[in-house]
């Protein structure tokens, strides 16, 4: 699909991932883009979705919008996160069918994988168990959207794609300490502790859990490639195949930010899923896509962006 000849709507286009994706669409010559803003279109309601399609008149919808956060936010909002993410997908996919659009692209989450998935995670293991409990409502809502797309492809011929990005990071991320994911939260903790001259920072869990991280521009490129080449909503992992423990991650971010104080662990707080690391062979085979940004380089860019922009966040 030549997206430069399509009208493309990007839900969540004003957000962290959305801004990076819009930049890459522009570089591909895609100029006819519609970005619904939350204050004008509540996509958890059918009325909001109907108006979105009536006003936007898209040929293609790339659905990035989500209500999501780190372990603490997921633990505090399990009902809301299930409802909001399920409702958005439910109404958006149904009205994609009604409006006979060319393609619907759904971003999933690796929170959908079973808690004890063999590492590296392969797409065929997506249904082999229940997700980690702290983020299961969010993950199941996203996985249900894939099933809906599969059904709509089979019954109505709606072309679709479904990608599973690993944990994202990069400039413009959410740096709120309660609702953010681990990398922006750690960057903020280390930078602010260094500025105050604190002797230590405190981190959740034991540090033993592992994670994999994907730079936001690499994720955006993978999603666009899926939009261009996929018609069937088969799950496709987007990641780097690089696993790092949270303990090693904290030490790395402390070094890169210059924080040299003590790191204390609060083992009364949850670690979350024990391990996360993706097999990305399917993305290479089906999309011709691989991550390009090295982890330390991406972290340095993200730290520099936070230091430059943090005064405007308060």
41 carries an active-site annotation: no
End-to-end CA distance of the chain: 42
Residues 6 or more apart in contact with residue 213 via CB below 8 angstroms = 166, 167, 168, 169, 183, 240, 242, 244, 295, 298
What residues does 266 pair with on adjacent strands? 204
Whether this prediction's pTM lies above 0.85 is answered by: yes
The answer to whether 212 and 278 are in contact (CB under 8 A) is yes
Rounded to whole angstroms, the Cα distance separating 280 from 239 reads 6
The structural architecture, per CATH, of the domain 3-172+212-241+277-293 is 3-Layer(aba) Sandwich (3.40)
How does pLDDT run across 265-300, given as a tens digit for each residue? 999 988 887 888 999 999 999 999 999 999 999 999
Cα torsion 213, 217, 223, 227 to 10°: value is: -170
Rounded to whole angstroms, the Cα distance separating 41 from 26 reads 24
DSSP, res 102: S
- What is the structure's pLDDT at 314? 61
Rounded to whole angstroms, the Cα distance separating 132 from 274 reads 9
- What is the structure's pLDDT at 270? 81
- What is the structure's pLDDT at 31? 96
DSSP, res 118: P
Which structure tokens are listed for 18?
């959305």
Domain boundaries, the chain: 3-172+212-241+277-293
Cα torsion 31, 174, 118, 290 to 10°: value is: 30
Rounded to whole angstroms, the Cα distance separating 293 from 283 reads 16
Mean pLDDT by runs of 10 across the 314 residues of the chain is: 97 96 98 96 98 98 91 88 98 98 97 93 97 93 98 98 96 86 93 96 92 97 98 97 95 97 92 88 98 98 96 76
Which position has the token pair 């955006």?
Answer: 220
Per the omega criterion (within 30 degrees of 0), is the bond before 120 cis? yes
The answer to whether 203 and 250 are in contact (CB under 8 A) is yes
The answer to whether 303 and 256 are in contact (CB under 8 A) is yes
Which structure tokens are listed for 271?
């670690």
Rounded to whole angstroms, the Cα distance separating 53 from 179 reads 30
Coil, strand or helix at 54: helix
Residues 41, 81, 113, 138: which is the catalytic one? 138
């Amino acid at each position: 699909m030549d997206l430069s000849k399509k009208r493309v709507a990007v839900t969540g286009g004003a957000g962290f991932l959305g801004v990076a994706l819009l930049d890459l669409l522009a570089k591909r010559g895609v100029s006819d883009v519609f970005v619904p803003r939350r204050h004008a279109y509540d996509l958890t309601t059918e009325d909001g979705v109907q108006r979105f399609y009536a006003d936007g008149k898209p040929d293609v919808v790339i659905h990035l919008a989500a209500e999501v956060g780190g372990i603490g936010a997921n633990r505090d909002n399990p009902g809301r996160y299930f409802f909001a993410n399920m409702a958005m997908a439910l109404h958006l996919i149904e009205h994609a069918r009604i409006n006979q659009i060319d393609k619907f692209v759904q971003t999933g989450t690796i929170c959908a994988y079973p808690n004890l998935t063999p590492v590296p995670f392969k797409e065929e293991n997506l249904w082999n168990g229940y997700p980690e409990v702290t983020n299961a409502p969010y993950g199941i809502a996203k996985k249900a959207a894939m099933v809906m797309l599969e059904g709509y492809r089979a019954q109505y011929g709606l072309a679709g794609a479904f990608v599973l990005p690993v944990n994202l990071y990069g400039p413009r991320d959410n740096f709120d300490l309660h609702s953010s994911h681990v990398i922006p939260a750690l960057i903020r903790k280390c930078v602010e502790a260094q500025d105050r001259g604190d002797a230590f920072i405190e981190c959740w869990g034991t540090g033993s859990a592992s994670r994999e991280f994907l730079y936001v521009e690499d994720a955006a490129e993978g999603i666009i490639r899926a939009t261009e080449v996929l018609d069937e909503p088969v799950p496709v992992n987007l990641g780097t195949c690089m696993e790092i423990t949270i303990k090693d991650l904290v030490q790395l971010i402390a070094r890169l930010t210059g924080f040299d104080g003590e790191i204390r662990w609060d083992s009364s707080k949850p670690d979350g899923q024990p391990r996360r690391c993706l097999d990305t062979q399917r993305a290479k085979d089906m999309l011709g896509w691989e991550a390009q940004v090295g982890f330390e380089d991406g972290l340095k860019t993200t730290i520099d962006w936070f230091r430059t922009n943090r005064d405007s966040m308060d």
